[in-house]
């Protein structure tokens, strides 16, 4: 199996339907209507836990222990924004995603809500960068 980089989801999906490729990693939002219509069959979930919308779809780590690739969304600002402004921004974002109507809509899109502190999120991002840098190094991938 060989990875094929695509610039757009639609191109990858067209190649999947056209049988130029046989498998694809898709996020929940992009894939849900295709799965609901029966055009795609989910084979596995990349996160640590089974998705609550698809409880019968196994986690890939059940077959390949240690596999863990979550998709996460975060908010970033340019360096140098004052801490008091960052704290206000964080408070408003947490307030928005915990609002029952917004939370319900996001969860309906398959998004799992978490509200880490700024320090926790920064630590998570650093850990992810270190983790993936190790994979790149181990695979001897060179920048292009």
Instruction: Give how many domains the chain has, as a whole number.
Output: 1
pLDDT digits (tens, 9 = 90+) for 115-130: 999 999 999 999 999 9
Q: Is residue 49 part of a domain?
A: no
Q: Is residue 58 part of a domain?
A: no
* Contacts with 60 (C-beta within 8 Å, 6 or more apart), sequence order: 44, 45, 46, 67
Question: What range does the domain containing 85 cover?
Answer: 72-144
Q: Is residue 64 part of a domain?
A: no
Q: Is residue 83 part of a domain?
A: yes
Q: Is residue 139 part of a domain?
A: yes
pLDDT of residue 133: 93
Q: Is residue 88 part of a domain?
A: yes
pLDDT of residue 78: 96
Beta strands in the chain (DSSP E): none
Give the chain's mean pLDDT: 91
Q: Is residue 112 part of a domain?
A: yes
pLDDT digits (tens, 9 = 90+) for 33-79: 899 899 999 999 988 888 888 899 999 999 999 888 888 888 899 99
Q: pTM of the predicted model, to two decimals?
A: 0.72
Q: What is the DSSP letter of 20?
A: S
Q: Is residue 50 part of a domain?
A: no
Beta strands in 28-105 (DSSP E): none
> Where residue 85 falls among pLDDT bands split at 50, 70, 90?
very high
Q: What is the DSSP letter of 142?
A: P
CB 32 within 8 A of CB 110: yes
């Amino acid at each position: 199996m060989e990875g094929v980089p695509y610039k757009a989801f639609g191109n990858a999906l067209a190649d999947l339907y056209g049988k130029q490729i046989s498998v694809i990693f898709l996020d929940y939002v992009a894939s849900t209507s295709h799965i609901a219509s029966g055009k795609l069959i989910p084979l596995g979930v990349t996160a640590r836990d089974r998705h609550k919308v698809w409880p019968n779809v196994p986690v890939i780590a059940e077959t390949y222990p240690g596999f863990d690739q979550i998709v996460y969304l975060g908010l970033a600002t340019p360096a140098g924004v004052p801490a008091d402004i960052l704290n206000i921004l964080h408070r408003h974002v947490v307030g928005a995603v915990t609002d029952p109507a917004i939370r319900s809509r996001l969860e309906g899109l398959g998004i799992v809500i978490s509200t880490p502190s700024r320090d926790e999120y920064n630590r998570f991002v650093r850990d992810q960068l270190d983790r993936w840098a190790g994979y790149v190094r181990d695979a001897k991938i060179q920048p292009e």
